[in-house]
Structure 1
């Protein structure tokens, strides 16, 4: 087996940054190309993706646990355990992914009706959710395999696969939305086919890369004889870790239902705005994920003080970059919205929401960096408890009160987002500085 590559924040972060950028570009390509087809199609895909994001988070509990445990085992020089965890996680997410995919395929229309979406969006949303959701287990395997590669330090490999998937997706979108060379114009259905096809090809390639990078080390043949403790450890870390993200996406699903009460134009504005905002906070996401891998290795090696300082340095960097990006995007926001739509009401409101992100994004940076650091250090429950309380008690509740009751619409929703992110961020910083996570590590090692 090749030795894991040497880890530095920059070496880990830039491929992760590009990979996340490409994932976001894939989503934006769907939105931008569909916007030439119909604003209603954009809203339909946006609502379906809100549900699919929730499913992906549920897949993420295995991928997150895998990433943390593999990093810790490598840091502790326990390479056999790292390989065993990798195999168990791939098998677990395959089984879990197939079950969830079947549920989405069978109950997709009922799920959408629970959200009370406008009737004019239901047909297209159902088609997209049935196709992409019904094959979402492919994404589960891509996430798990990518997590393994990144924990071993091979972040470039996942980046290249995502680049290829992105190119294939854009080509497929073009063929099925605009119908060149006699291709059928399928709109939302075509975008769905393009998405699942690019993912399937990406999965095949990333599995080949995994076997090439870690040859003769992954004990697939021994799957059913591997220790049960691996599953327990995955669940111990993965379930609480995913709980915070699950709570966030569930609350966003409810908030989207509130926005649907305002109207289709409000949903479309939210979709466009969040697609643009993703490019503002993707730096913080990349820094947070890179920091998680490094801290996992440091904690595994018992280098607690180095891990403590690494998190705070990463946090300062993420806040600075996010603030600069938010200010820069606010200056060109009208032009950016003009790429998606010529509806001046959407452009004006969306530009106001981007202006509010100058306050929002530094607060989000606290959570993206410190929560990942706490997970890597084994302190996984605290972010979940605080997350559930704040996301539902502040973000969801105030979205309804400010947006619907007081009639502030999307501006009220964005104010609730700001309050939620900053409250959770400050509490996470206090938790990291308390060093409780170090005591938890000592307790786990004594067991």
Structure 2
């Protein structure tokens, strides 16, 4: 097996930041291409993205649980258990991915109706969403396999795969959406077709790096079967996180529906602003994922004191990075938004939202970093249980009513308040060391599983 790089936060966070940047750039490029067709197309693009992100929660159950379990096994030097956890991801991904494909094919019209999609937006979004179905199955494999690769600290190899995959997606999307020569292209559907091709390439590359870096070569049965006994610890970690993610997505979709009621202009503004904000949170996302990987390994090795210091440093760095980037985004809004639209009303509304986002993004730092850190210690229940009330009452109900009272700024204020409530609860849990008993239990389970 190839020797992974030294265990350092920046060694993992740097390549992860590159991965996230590529992914966001592809989504931004797709939104830019859609916006050059019309604001209606941009609204359809943003609405479908929200549906897809909700469905992707099922894949994150596997990715989250696998990442934590593999890192803990590796930290405890249990190579055989880590290999079993890696291979079971394939069979589980096949069944979960197939279920999601069926849901997309059978229920896309109903989903758009639930979201109050304006008629013009729904007419574009319905066929566009159908094209995504086969790509979602490949996404399930890629997410799980990437989590395993990063858990082994081969973050640079994961970045190489993402460069190839996302570059293929963006290049093909431009050609298929816009067309060339006398062909006018396929519009929004072209983005989904390009995604399918790029995800197939990603799967091939993941299989190659699994073989070269980890000597993992899946057999035919690995793609269809898995052991529930081996999957149980993965679900124990992944399901609480997925539960809170599903609650978040459901509450967030309420806010999207509230936005859709405000009209096509509000929906386009919402989509443009959210896409820009994804760049703001990239650094904290990278720090959070890297921190989760490292904390999992430290817990496996029994280095609890070092894990505590690492998380505190990660939160500090995340606050500085996100606060600075949010300020720059708010200051640059009049120029940044012109990349998507010339509508002065949309630009002015987006600038207001970006100033509110100073509060939103600093609160989000705690959730991005501490959620993963607590999960990596084995403390998966508290982050989920402590979040439900705020997600339902503030993000869901609050965005609905504040949207009615104050329009889009009211919805954005609900986002910010929710992030701070949940973030401060997680911070208190870490600072007061409520995670320690779970970390010790995780360490005892690992020792009990050792051959």
Q: TM-score under structure 2 normalisation? A: 0.95
Q: Match for residue 414 of structure 2?
A: 416
Is residue 158 from structure 1 mapped to residue 158 from structure 2 by the alignment? yes
In 2, distance between residues paired with 1:185 and 1:287? 39
- Shift of the 178–226 alpha-carbon distance from structure 1 to 2, 3 Å rule, reads closer
In 1, distance between residues paired with 2:293 and 2:30? 31
Q: CA offset at residue 443 of structure 1?
A: 3.3
Q: How does 1:171-210 map to 2 (within 5 A)?
A: 171-210=171-210
In 2, distance between residues paired with 1:13 and 1:366? 16
Q: Deviations over 1:54-107 (max 9, x none)?
A: 111111001100000000000000011001000011210121101111221122
- Shift of the 345–6 alpha-carbon distance from structure 1 to 2, 3 Å rule, reads same
- Shift of the 13–245 alpha-carbon distance from structure 1 to 2, 3 Å rule, reads same
Task: Tell me the SS of whatever aligns to 1:435.
Answer: coil
In 1, distance between residues paired with 2:337 and 2:204? 36
| Contact 2:73/2:82 (<8 A) preserved | yes
In 1, distance between residues paired with 2:426 and 2:109? 38
Q: Match for residue 214 of structure 1?
A: 214
Task: Tell me the SS of whatever aligns to 1:314.
Answer: helix
- Shift of the 437–220 alpha-carbon distance from structure 1 to 2, 3 Å rule, reads farther
Is residue 72 from structure 1 mapped to residue 85 from structure 2 by the alignment? no
Q: Give unpaired runs (5+ residues) of structure 1.
A: none
**Which residue of 419, 425, 428 maps to 1:427?**
425
| Contact 2:108/2:126 (<8 A) preserved | yes
In 1, distance between residues paired with 2:221 and 2:198? 31
Higher mean displacement: 268-277 or 379-388: 379-388
Higher mean displacement: 222-231 or 286-295: 222-231
Q: Match for residue 326 of structure 2?
A: 326
In 1, distance between residues paired with 2:84 and 2:285? 28
Q: Match for residue 254 of structure 1?
A: 254
Q: CA offset at residue 134 of structure 1?
A: 4.1
Q: How does 1:35-184 map to 2 (within 5 A)?
A: 35-184=35-184
Task: Tell me the SS of whatever aligns to 1:436.
Answer: coil
In 1, distance between residues paired with 2:113 and 2:279? 31
Q: Give unpaired runs (5+ residues) of structure 2.
A: 446-451
Runs of 4+ aligned residues of structure 1 deviating over 3 Å after TM superposition are 217-228, 443-447
In 1, distance between residues paired with 2:16 and 2:72? 19
Q: Deviations over 1:170-210 (max 9, x none)?
A: 22222123221334421111122112222222222222212
Q: CA offset at residue 220 of structure 1?
A: 4.1
In 2, distance between residues paired with 1:443 and 1:285? 27
**What is the Cα-based RMSD across aligned positions, in Å?**
1.6
Q: How does 1:343-422 map to 2 (within 5 A)?
A: 343-404=343-404, 406=405, 408-422=406-420
Q: TM-score under structure 1 normalisation? A: 0.96
Q: Deviations over 1:374-396 (max 9, x none)?
A: 01111011111122211111111
